Structure 1
Amino acid sequence: MDDDITAESVDVLPGFNLTSNSLWDTVPDDITDDLIFQLDTIEAEEQARVPAAPAAETPAKLPTDSRPSPVRPKRFASTTEAELQRLEQARHEKKTVDSTAWAVRLFKDWCKESNLPQDFEKLPVAELATLLRKFYGEVRKTNGDPYSKSSLCNIRSGIQRHISSPPFQRTINIMHNEEFSNANNVFDGSLKKMKREGHDITKSHAAISEEDLDKLFAGDTLSTKNPVSLQRLVFFSLQFMFCRRGREGLRDLNKDSFKCEVDGSGIEYLTPTCNEHEKNHPATVNEQYNRKKKLYATNDAQCPVQAYKLYLSKLHPKCHALYQQPKKNANSHDPIWYNNCPLGHNTIGNTMKEISLDAKLSQIYTNHSIRATAIRVLNAAGVSDRIICSLSGHRNINSLRSYCSDASDSQKREMSVALHVSKFSRKQASHTISAPPDTPSNQQPNIAPSVRMPQPVPNRMPQPVPNRMPRPVPYRMPQQVPYRMPQQVPSNSSRMPVYQPPIAGQIVQRQSPTTLTTAQTTGTATATASANVLNMVAPQQQGFPTLFTGCSFEGATMNFYFNN
């Protein structure tokens, strides 16, 4: 037993070693056996708790030429059927997919309530057209109100996308095919009825007025004094200068989305680092996207480039998102103003709404109002439509009409004042208007203290253009040539008398070829002559010559007519 104890070292107490001869010399003989028994028991328990290590296997040595070559990484990715379906659905925007699902669900709910088949995707064309014709006339909201114009258009477009997409892939078009003309007539009639009844309240995103723009930059709402105002300044500058859409791609922006560069003139500007996914530019095969937007520095208190650089220096280093949650109790000396958490979709989408409330603007604006304001400002500055489209991303210049068709508030005020001044000037021309006794004649009454009345615009109506039509030429009647009776040519046997035209008031009667008698008469008479009598009647007009005007034959009578 002594040989077994001394064969290995057992630590009973710190600093003691049972293999030491000096230790055995100090232990009494009466307790040696008990101590050895306890040590054996402890050692057995420790070995039972610790599992025995497996024996190491000696690897077999392979020949040099038979060893396997190192595994190379795969070049091509491996995809499942579910991943392929997600890629196939990714060709549509998420909002488009949600709108399509909402339209199909609404159509099926109506079919279920009307006890009609819900699998409309497989119906014949004639039955589907009849079903849609009734659906367009009966579709309503949950509260019974009719849908707006844009909602009805989205419903019809969503149904068309659903039946033309996999797995149905029908080639019909419910908006243009002749078989659906009756259904589309009901659809158009519903829109017109809605407008007549005053239910069409669709409004576009209003542009920010000039007064509200001045109020925004005059206060501390957009400044570099605190984390919230700095973030709003950067947000407004990027949306306004780059003419970005309201909510598109805001959550996907990160610290590397923009970079600072210097042009050939040494002016610093901000530009995007990549082509973002936009609604009008969805990265199709035929897409040509070579636009490079630039946001130049203004070197003032609200310079967008300097504000962006300051904003990047205050962001949290562990968060890669561009828009992060601001700290509540941050001061100007803190190196980090934002938390390690990005802003949510709804928070970024309502940024302009919060700015409008904080700055106490005249109305609540949306993020898309910034884009509308940028397009209107560029159009008022005389920038061509092609250059504006290069910044806004519109494919067709006709799309800008919805932004620039309406007049601004200042222009509407000028028109109102011009119409009022025109009415006032007409009234003043016919009546004398005197000022009230309490109001000076050269001072306008205080109509609304909070409204800044514009200065009256002078009447600039165009002066009437004088009539430059050629003067009418007086009509000149051709002078009548007096009739001269032809002279009778005398024969060789006898000389015939010459007939002269009678004067006024005379009746000449021919009784014989050689005899003429004259009788005085007044007025006008009708003469009747025989074969040998010729009567010539003329009215008596003293002081005017009598002219022959014509003659007529009545049987054997020849009448001569004269005029003064």
Structure 2
Amino acid sequence: MSDDLFDDDLDLLTLTQNGYFDVVEQSNELFGFDFEEEVSQTDQIHTDASELSVDIANSILDCHQQETMNDTGNIINNVNPVITETLNCTTQNPENIVDEQENNINCGKSNANNPTFLNITDEEKENFVTGMKNKNTVKKTETSLRQFQRWLAEPPRNELRQIWNIIPTELDNFIGSFLLSIRKADGSEYEPDTLTSYHRGIDRCLRENKYPHSIITDKEFATSRQVLASKRKELKGKGKGNRPNAAEPLTVNERQMLREKGLTGTDSPKKLLNLIWLNNTVLFGLRGGNENRQLRWGDIKIKTNDHGREYIEYNERLTKTRTAEKTTEVRHFSPKQFAHDTLETCPVYAYKVFAQHRPTEMCQPESPFYLGINYKRLPGSDKWYKSQPLGEHTLNTLMKTMAIECGLQGKKTNHSARKTTCTDLLHSGIAPTTIQQLSAHRNVQSVNNYAKASCEMQEHMSDILSHNPNPPKLKNAIQMCQTQSKQSLTNSTGPPRQILAPVQSPFNATVSSNIRTMSGIELVSTHTGQILQNARLMNCPITIINKSVKTDDISPSPKRRRRICPVIESDSGSE
């Protein structure tokens, strides 16, 4: 082999600063083996690699100095032993391996504790993200985009571009005109919240497509926001915006009617299914749709507290406001349903009966909680339900179906049960922050929105303001609250609450006062001589500031005397 040949081939060998060597493809053909493949089998120790590269270079240079090199096999014979010796040395001395390279995935060592990885395509990743979004939110976004694109395509606009490809000034004008012109199919006006929903849906669509501006906050879309605000005011002036389709909570009488008319109970599969759903939604504070659909049998377990009282506990999954996107999105406590002696309304007893009538194979932790009714079961069979989940439509309309069959007044939907949770607790004097921990609302103001006076409370207020001499007895608004308050003291497992002692009045005058708790219970009406005598105060902080003094100790204040000085008119007059 000539010197020129070696001059050209030596350029193919590059020694790096770390002592590593790289050989290009042409060198592989020359030497008959792959340097890179051989060296990759080692743990790439810096010291060994440096010695390896120097030895290889010296071997090639020694071969280059030979006068006659017609056989390239001589080079291989000189280089191969060096590589083989270095590989054996590295393999036989694993203690020389540094820690960071022991964890390298290319080191050739197998570790059973290392995680495994799946091959995920970009399409699968996008489908996964889309599938985890709230279905109702996705549906609203698609509807808003579809209607807006349809409006843009109509003459005289004839705009066929995607909305995220339109510049902000044009898009701002289009959005304002769209919100001002949209009507229902019959030509009537939409509710103000519906227009806001369209506006928010367009914004979500733009954000998903990485539009550089926000139509809710950026100044480029101030005009469309002003149009929306003005349109809401106009609709409010026409009597809209009062949420006529809002669901109404269940009253105590209505829940009693459901039991009396055979819609809830434990003696038939349909009654039991309705009762279990109602208990879970009201006592756990679940949302009537998605949270009940994703409920699994293993999410609810029966337990016993320190006092021996049984209860069932709910382990929460994905919810509307708790998606685990933030580490702080965790419930303060797991909701519970406690047992009591009245079997007709005892939630733990209903749960046990429901467990007895389920198929054995549907009692696994991941089995659906709500099952379809087996209408073809054999006579005397205790398996009331099928080995398949309850239909989605049936589950979403349980409360509406019960209300129709029972003849309940007002708009009753699945959300009525959750609304009953917040309304009853607020009317019973439970703090909104405590209710928030049960209902899993993100903001306490959302709980306060349920603090609405019931129909009976409104009737009571009307009688007071109209001076009705013969008001009807409102046992559900007042007497029932008193009974619940007494029961809360009697059934309390903790230490009894301290009752304030009578406060002695420092004066003998007659004091009239009306002190009420948050639930509207009149505690004190008239007190003579002693304030709050024999009064029981519950769930209401009271501060009494008494600045009065006894009338006998009152002495007239001394009169202020004014000094009268003679006025001298002139010096001559004084003489």
Q: Could you say which structure has the higher helix fraction?
A: 2
CA contact (8 A) 1:209 1:409 kept: no
Using the alignment, how far apart are the partners of 1:335 and 1:485 within structure 2? 123
Using the alignment, how far apart are the partners of 1:480 and 1:81 within structure 2? 105
State the match for 2:266 in structure 1: 224
State the match for 1:289 in structure 2: 330
Task: Give the alignment's TM-score, normalised by structure 2.
Answer: 0.60
Match of 1:147 among 173, 190, 196: 190
Give the 3-state SS of the residue equivalent to 1:411 in structure 2. Answer: helix
C-alpha deviation, 1:357, in angstroms: 2.0
Q: 1:276 to 1:76 in 2, by over 3 A?
A: same
Count of paired positions: 382
Aligned CA RMSD, in angstroms, stands at: 3.5
Return the letter of the residue paired with 1:347: T
Offset from partner CA, 1:125-160 (integer Å, 9 cap, x none)? 111111112112111222222222222111111111
Using the alignment, how far apart are the partners of 1:343 and 1:130 within structure 2? 48
Offset from partner CA, 1:284-309 (integer Å, 9 cap, x none)? 14344153121111232221111111
C-alpha deviation, 1:454, in angstroms: 4.7
C-alpha deviation, 1:96, in angstroms: 1.2
Using the alignment, how far apart are the partners of 2:376 and 2:411 within structure 1? 28
State the match for 1:243 in structure 2: 285
CA contact (8 A) 1:212 1:362 kept: no
Task: Give the alignment's TM-score, normalised by structure 1.
Answer: 0.61
State the match for 1:29 in structure 2: none
C-alpha deviation, 1:351, in angstroms: 0.5
State the match for 2:447 in structure 1: 400
State the match for 1:267 in structure 2: 309
Using the alignment, how far apart are the partners of 1:367 and 1:349 within structure 2? 7
Match of 1:352 among 399, 413, 427: 399
Q: 1:479 to 1:341 in 2, by over 3 A?
A: same
C-alpha deviation, 1:453, in angstroms: 6.3
Structure 1: gaps of 5 or more residues: 1-71, 425-443, 446-451, 464-470, 490-497, 499-564
Match of 2:250 among 205, 208, 228: 208
Using the alignment, how far apart are the partners of 2:261 and 2:411 within structure 1? 17
State the match for 2:143 in structure 1: 102
Using the alignment, how far apart are the partners of 1:307 and 1:333 within structure 2? 20
Q: Do structure 1's residue 132 and structure 2's residue 175 form an aligned pair?
A: yes
Q: 1:187 to 1:334 in 2, by over 3 A?
A: same
Using the alignment, how far apart are the partners of 2:378 and 2:336 within structure 1? 32
Return the letter of the residue paired with 1:78: N
Q: 1:488 to 1:187 in 2, by over 3 A?
A: closer
State the match for 1:177 in structure 2: 218
CA contact (8 A) 2:303 2:313 kept: yes
Please give the residue correspondences for 1:323-338 in structure 2 after superposition, counting only pairs within 5 Å. 323-328=370-375, 333-338=380-385
Q: 1:228 to 1:485 in 2, by over 3 A?
A: closer
Return the letter of the residue paired with 2:204: R
Return the letter of the residue paired with 2:409: S
State the match for 1:8 in structure 2: none
State the match for 2:430 in structure 1: 383
Match of 1:366 among 413, 424, 437: 413
Structure 2: gaps of 5 or more residues: 1-111, 479-511, 515-524, 527-555
Using the alignment, how far apart are the partners of 1:85 and 1:236 within structure 2? 37
C-alpha deviation, 1:207, in angstroms: 1.5
Please give the residue correspondences for 1:468-507 in structure 2 after superposition, counting only pairs within 5 Å. none
C-alpha deviation, 1:347, in angstroms: 0.8
C-alpha deviation, 1:321, in angstroms: 2.4
Deviating 4+ runs (over 4 angstroms): 329-332, 452-457, 459-463, 473-489
State the match for 1:321 in structure 2: 368
State the match for 1:509 in structure 2: none
Give the 3-state SS of the residue equivalent to 2:303 in structure 1. Answer: strand
Return the letter of the residue paired with 2:216: M
CA contact (8 A) 1:140 1:147 kept: yes
Using the alignment, how far apart are the partners of 1:191 and 1:246 within structure 2? 30
C-alpha deviation, 1:103, in angstroms: 0.5
Offset from partner CA, 1:153-175 (integer Å, 9 cap, x none)? 1111111111111xx30231111
Q: 1:78 to 1:299 in 2, by over 3 A?
A: farther
Using the alignment, how far apart are the partners of 2:187 and 2:242 within structure 1? 17
Q: 1:248 to 1:488 in 2, by over 3 A?
A: closer
Using the alignment, how far apart are the partners of 2:569 and 2:297 within structure 1? 115
C-alpha deviation, 1:264, in angstroms: 1.6
Using the alignment, how far apart are the partners of 1:88 and 1:325 within structure 2? 31
CA contact (8 A) 2:299 2:316 kept: no
Offset from partner CA, 1:476-523 (integer Å, 9 cap, x none)? 99989698786689xxxxxxxx9xxxxxxxxxxxxxxxxxxxxxxxxx
Q: Do structure 1's residue 116 and structure 2's residue 158 form an aligned pair?
A: yes
C-alpha deviation, 1:266, in angstroms: 1.4
Offset from partner CA, 1:418-461 (integer Å, 9 cap, x none)? 12226x6xxxxxxxxxxxxxxxxxxx79xxxxxx765999x999
Q: 1:330 to 1:488 in 2, by over 3 A?
A: closer
State the match for 1:416 in structure 2: 462
Give the 3-state SS of the residue equivalent to 1:340 in structure 2. Answer: strand
Using the alignment, how far apart are the partners of 1:395 and 1:300 within structure 2? 34
Please give the residue correspondences for 1:48-63 in structure 2 after superposition, counting only pairs within 5 Å. none
Q: 1:193 to 1:488 in 2, by over 3 A?
A: closer
CA contact (8 A) 1:244 1:371 kept: yes
State the match for 2:43 in structure 1: none
Match of 1:78 among 107, 115, 119: 119
Q: Which moved more, 1:474-483 or 1:410-419?
A: 474-483
Give the 3-state SS of the residue equivalent to 1:365 in structure 2. Answer: coil
State the match for 1:87 in structure 2: 128
Give the 3-state SS of the residue equivalent to 1:256 in structure 2. Answer: helix
Q: Do structure 1's residue 304 and structure 2's residue 344 form an aligned pair?
A: no
Q: 1:317 to 1:177 in 2, by over 3 A?
A: same
C-alpha deviation, 1:78, in angstroms: 2.3
Return the letter of the residue paired with 1:176: T
Give the 3-state SS of the residue equivalent to 2:466 in structure 1. Answer: helix
Using the alignment, how far apart are the partners of 2:265 and 2:573 within structure 1? 121
